[in-house]
Amino acid sequence: MRPILMKGHERPLTFLKYNRDGDLLFSCAKDHTPTVWFADNGERLGTYRGHNGAVWTCDVSRDSTRLITGSADQTVKLWNVQKGTQLYTFNFGSPARSVEFAIGDKLAVITTDPFMELTSAIHVKRIAGDPTEQTEESVLVIKGPQGRINRAVWGPLNRTIISAGEDAVIRIWDSETGKLLKESDKESGHKKTITSLTKAADGSHFLSGSLDKSAKLWDTRTLTLIKTYGTERPVNAVAMSPLLDHVVLGGGQDASAVTTTDHRAGKFEAKFYDKILQEEIGGVKGHFGPINALAFNPDGKSFSSGGEDGYVRLHHFDPDYFNIKI
């Protein structure tokens, strides 16, 4: 089917997130306004105004009532999804790079960038049921990794936190004590900045994408490497189909080099791989510029991609996609 082009952002996209029901799509971009769309027809439903910097990330609660966004304006904001009003603002001394609600939506993990004298950090905040009772202080702050922490997500039963970033190492932390439990192997692990990390629908495994032109699949509990998917360009975004054993990798050459080469040189395609066989299945072209964000609809029947070109492209799969055999 023809993709639906959603033009609502004026700057490059940074992050995409579907709610659990798969009817809403939240998009973040370097303009200051996260936007919510109908995931079916791409109609814009509303925007969340209030940030004063690029918005790097967001997450939505299981019941789709709360949105949490992290921004370069050094704040993380809680929003009422339906009304678009701000509920609470967490202030940090440096830009917030990633956020995620825990199972149960009572905790959130937030990563902040190194900035001025501050080092990068992982913060755990308690999210109050009633926004008027929300407090600022962190339950836990973890420091240690060098450079930016591009993504931190919760492990099974909120007992661990998995982080990855510029130092190319994936780490698993105890979410109670902040103790480092595991580190990815230097040999088998990524060689360059890890740009993205996404969990499987059941949380059993997760996929990491890196500028070393590969994506790797890991066991969430043991941090053992299960699969590696090689590609020919830096990977900025990864996604996994919840329905079929497919993974999607998006990326492309650096934005600064785009103008100097043929548009085909950048390979700004979303590439599909068989998750188990590690073989390339196909690609979806379209963006003029690298792909920065990818997300699968929880029903597995559509996916969306966000590019440096400022567009969100919403792709509904043709029926024959579901019959691919290799």
Binding positions for another protein, 153-172, rule CB under 8 A: 156-158
Q: How far is the CB of 104 from another protein (least distance, A)?
A: 4
Query: Does 233 sit near another protein (CB under 8 A)?
Result: yes
Closer to another protein at the Cβ: 116 or 256?
256
Closer to another protein at the Cβ: 11 or 221?
221
DSSP 102-139: PTTSSEEEEEE--BTTBPPEEEEEE--SSGGG----EE
Rounded Cα gap, residues 199 and 154, in angstroms: 9
Interacting stretch for another protein, rule CB under 8 A, among 28-36, 145-153, 229-237, 311-319? 229-237
Q: By rule CB under 8 A, what string of x and - marks binding of each residue 28-67 to another protein?
A: ----------------------------------x-----
Beta strands at 270-274 and 96-101: parallel, antiparallel or unpaired: unpaired
Query: Does 201 sit near another protein (CB under 8 A)?
Result: yes
CA proximity to 24, closest of 55, 62, 50: 62
Query: Does 187 sit near another protein (CB under 8 A)?
Result: no
Rounded Cα gap, residues 326 and 312, in angstroms: 30
Q: By rule CB under 8 A, what string of x and - marks binding of each residue 241-280 to another protein?
A: ----x-------x---x----x-xxxx--------xx---
Interacting stretch for another protein, rule CB under 8 A, among 2-10, 152-160, 167-175, 182-190? 152-160
Closer to another protein at the Cβ: 29 or 295?
295
Compute the Cα dihedral for 198, 84, 307, 24 and give only its sign: positive
Q: Are 171 and 165 in contact (CB under 8 A)?
A: no
C-beta atoms surrounding 16 within 10 Å? 25
Q: Which residues contact 117 (CB under 8 A, 6 or more apart)?
A: none
Binding site for another protein (CB under 8 A): 21, 62, 102-104, 106, 156-158, 201-205, 213, 219, 221, 226, 230, 232-233, 245, 253, 257, 262, 264-267, 276-277
